[in-house]
Structure formats: structure tokens, C-alpha cells
């Protein structure tokens, strides 16, 4: 193990810009997802909006930085913050940093529109031009949400402590970006022993009142399945 020199001597490390931590803040908005962008003050680049980001600090973990960037942009704490990936290809970024670590943050519906015109929510299908690296982060965030949704109870963090099953299903539909069949959703949900009914009911105006449930996962049986070959080409 010879050339283990941490820094290629003489080169640029002293001039290198610190890595950035970028956060993709997503929230349910109506029937779809929206992402939080911040206005970029004039520069030569044509992108006028950007994901919130900040340079990494040596006195914080990147998770802490992500939390702070999210709180700063949102004016409050998001419901969940998770890493997506590091982006260190050559694509352009608002900073000069060669490396960025992207985080996903989910925010419960009805988030207060951040003050001032410098920050705004954009529907996920109608996002303005972003720097290429941040565009990739946004795509990565959507992919991450949809793939982690089945592995971890992240949907429950977007709901209050008690909720109706219709509300839960709607969250799933918004995060997945597609409709689900009511009976199938409930059958799978109950089979997984993730929720338990409370004795309260909520009347939401018209229609039959809905029973309230709470998130209360029971012990799991490890279902030893075979392999699946999905979505390969």
C-alpha cells in the first residue's frame, strides 16, 4: 500500500471548495408532490431557482447539516430527513464544489408557505430549470421515496398520531404517484399489523364517519421469499 498520500501533493486540495449538502424538500400539495426551491440571485447561470444547499461544515455531521438546511429553508423541522446519495460527477451545481451529498426531506401536508418570495413550492411536474446536478438529485429523491416507502414506515411520519385509513392511503398515492385499490390497500395493511384502531371516529362533513387508527407495529414474521426479477432489462 504505497501511494496512500491522502492529498496528491502540490495539487489543489487547499483550493478545493468544501462539499455541499443539498436537500430535496417534498410535501403533499393537493393531489401531488411539491418541491421547495429557493430563488437564486442574479448570476451568469440561467437557472433562477435551486434546491436549498449549504457547504459542509467540519463541526457537524452531514445529517445535522441537512437538518439545518431543511429547517432554514422551511422555517421549521421536516418530518423526516434521509440521505439519497453523493453526486460527484462533473455536472454543474450552483456552487463550485465538485461533490454534493443530497438528502430527501418530507414535510407534512399543509406546510406554511415560507415567507418572502425567495422560497416557493413547485409542483413536481412543473419544476423550473435547475442546475444539472440538482436536477439529478430531484429525480433521485423521487426514486428514493418510492422505493423506501415499502421498506420503512415513512408515510406515517406525514400524518398526525391518529388518522383515517383513507388519509393514509392518500399519502401513499401521492408519494407513489399512482392510485391504489382501496380493498387491496387495506388487506395488505392489516396483514402487516402496522396499525391498530382507536375507539374514535371522525366525521369529515359528508359521508360516513371514518374510524381513527394509530401506527402501532406488531412483531414481524420474516417472510422468507424467493427471488424476484423485477424491472430488469
> Which one of DNA, its own copies, none interacts with residue 129, CB within 5 to 8 A by kind?
none
Q: Tell me how crowded residue 28 is: count the other CB atoms within 10 A of its CB.
A: 20
For 214, the grid coordinates are 394509530
Name which of 71, 88, 69 is nearest 79 in CA terms: 71
Pick one of 77, 113, 118, 123: the residue that binds its own copies (CB under 8 A).
Answer: 118
> Which one of its own copies, DNA, none interacts with residue 31, CB within 5 to 8 A by kind?
none
Name which of 91, 69, 88 is nearest 19 in CA terms: 88
> Which one of its own copies, DNA, none interacts with residue 201, CB within 5 to 8 A by kind?
DNA
Nearer to DNA among residue 3 and residue 184 (C-beta): 184
Pick one of 1, 224, 231, 232: the residue that binds DNA (CB under 7 A).
Answer: 224
**206 binds DNA per the rule CB under 7 A:** yes
Number of residues that bind DNA (CB under 7 A): 26
> Which one of its own copies, DNA, none interacts with residue 220, CB within 5 to 8 A by kind?
its own copies
- Binding to its own copies in span 88-107, by CB under 8 A: 88-90, 95-99, 101
Interface pattern 122-161 for its own copies (x via CB under 8 A) = ---------------------------xxxxx--------
> Which one of its own copies, DNA, none interacts with residue 233, CB within 5 to 8 A by kind?
its own copies
Pick one of 4, 11, 181, 220: the residue that binds DNA (CB under 7 A).
Answer: 181
Interface pattern 138-167 for DNA (x via CB under 7 A) = --------------------------xxx-
Nearer to DNA among residue 38 and residue 169 (C-beta): 169
Q: Yes or no: say if 82 and 104 are a contact pair by the CB < 8 Å rule.
A: yes
Query: 3-state secondary structure string, the chain?
Result: CCCCCCCCCCCCCCCCCCCEEEEEEEEEECCEEEEEEEECCCCCCCCCEECCEEECCCCCCHHHHHHHHHHHHHCCCCCEEEEEEEECCCCCCCCCCCCEEEEEEECCCCCCCCCCCCEEEEECCCCCCCCHHHHHHHHHHHHHHHHHCCCCCHHHHHCCCEEEHHHHHHHHHHHHCCCCCHHHHHHHHHHCCCEEEEEEEECCCCCCCEEEEEECCCCCCCCCCCCCCCCCC
Nearer to its own copies among residue 203 and residue 222 (C-beta): 222
Binding site residues, DNA, CB under 7 A? 164-166, 181-184, 186-188, 191, 201, 203-211, 223-226, 228
Amino acid at each position: 500500500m504505497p501511494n496512500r498520500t491522502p492529498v496528491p501533493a502540490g495539487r489543489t486540495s487547499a483550493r478545493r471548495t468544501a462539499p455541499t449538502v443539498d436537500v430535496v424538500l417534498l410535501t403533499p400539495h393537493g393531489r401531488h408532490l411539491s418541491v421547495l426551491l429557493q430563488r437564486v440571485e442574479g448570476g451568469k447561470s440561467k437557472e433562477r431557482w435551486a434546491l436549498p444547499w449549504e457547504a459542509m461544515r467540519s463541526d457537524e455531521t452531514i445529517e445535522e447539516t441537512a437538518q439545518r438546511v431543511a429547517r432554514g429553508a422551511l422555517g421549521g423541522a421536516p418530518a423526516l430527513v434521509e440521505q439519497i446519495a453523493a453526486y460527484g460527477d462533473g455536472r454543474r451545481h450552483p456552487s463550485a464544489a465538485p461533490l454534493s451529498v443530497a438528502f430527501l426531506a418530507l414535510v407534512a401536508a399543509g406546510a406554511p408557505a415560507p415567507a418572502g418570495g425567495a422560497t416557493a413550492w413547485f409542483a413536481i411536474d412543473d419544476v423550473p430549470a435547475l442546475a444539472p446536478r440538482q436536477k439529478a438529485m430531484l429525480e433521485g429523491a423521487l426514486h428514493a421515496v418510492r422505493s423506501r416507502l415499502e421498506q420503512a414506515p415513512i408515510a406515517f411520519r406525514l400524518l398526525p398520531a391518529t388518522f383515517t385509513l383513507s388519509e393514509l392511503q392518500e399519502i401513499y398515492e401521492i408519494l407513489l404517484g399512482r392510485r391504489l385499490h382501496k380493498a387491496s390497500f387495506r388487506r395488505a395493511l392489516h396483514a402487516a399489523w402496522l396499525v391498530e384502531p382507536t375507539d374514535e371516529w371522525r366525521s369529515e362533513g359528508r359521508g360516513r364517519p371514518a374510524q381513527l387508527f394509530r401506527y402501532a407495529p406488531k412483531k414481524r414474521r420474516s417472510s422468507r421469499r424467493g427471488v424476484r426479477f423485477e424491472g430488469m432489462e
